Amino acid sequence: MDSSGRVTNTLVYRHSAPVVAPGIFAGPNQILLDPPYTGTTVRRVEDITRCAGAWTGSLFQTNVAYGSTTNYPVTFNVDNRGLVADLTGFQTNSTGRVFALTNGTVAAFFFTAADDDYDQIRVSGTLSGNTVLGTFENNSDFGILGFVVLSRH
């Protein structure tokens, strides 16, 4: 951050070049990004423990051949820092982070040990009670899309 409140965010991906996303603080808890990301807001997570617990559910890929849906059952634990451990459903040694804002907006990122289209998965959704409903996409040239249903128990 410089003296005028401008910040430079650098997003680092596993299989591609870093992306620089500059912006400006629009208050103590949010950053508004510059073009080409205009309209995107980065928000501070107020309570990193909101998603702590044991989770089960599925990622349903909807853009597969012949209009069918592919189901990827998952289980994982989230600790009090938002860190994912014991993620099953993909390859071993998978990890990630899960956070929710107080308004229920959820962001989750899973990094699998796979060396394929499922090596990085982003989930966007809403936390209501012990349920997350949302969408997911991957970070590959073949855009994998779908919806997510997760339950904390």
**Cα–Cα dist 118/112, whole Å:** 7
Q: Are 121 and 68 found together in one domain?
A: yes
- Predicted local distance difference test score (pLDDT) of residue 84: 93
- Predicted local distance difference test score (pLDDT) of residue 89: 82
137: amino acid identity, one letter:
E
Choose among 66, 67, 53: nearest CA to 127: 53
CATH value at residue 107 = 2.40.128.20
Structural domain span for residue 140 = 53-152
Chain Cα centroid distance, residue 62: 18
- Predicted local distance difference test score (pLDDT) of residue 56: 97
Q: Are 57 and 27 found together in one domain?
A: no
- Predicted local distance difference test score (pLDDT) of residue 132: 97
Residue 68 lies in a domain: yes
- Predicted local distance difference test score (pLDDT) of residue 18: 86
**Tally of domains in the chain:** 2
- Predicted local distance difference test score (pLDDT) of residue 67: 61
Full-model pTM: 0.77
Contacts of 60 (CB under 8 A, 6+ apart): 69, 70, 71, 72, 146, 147, 148, 149
The residue behind tokens 């069918």 is 68
User: How confident is the chain (153 residues) per 10-residue block, as mean pLDDT?
Assistant: 84 76 88 89 88 95 72 93 88 83 91 69 94 86 81 96
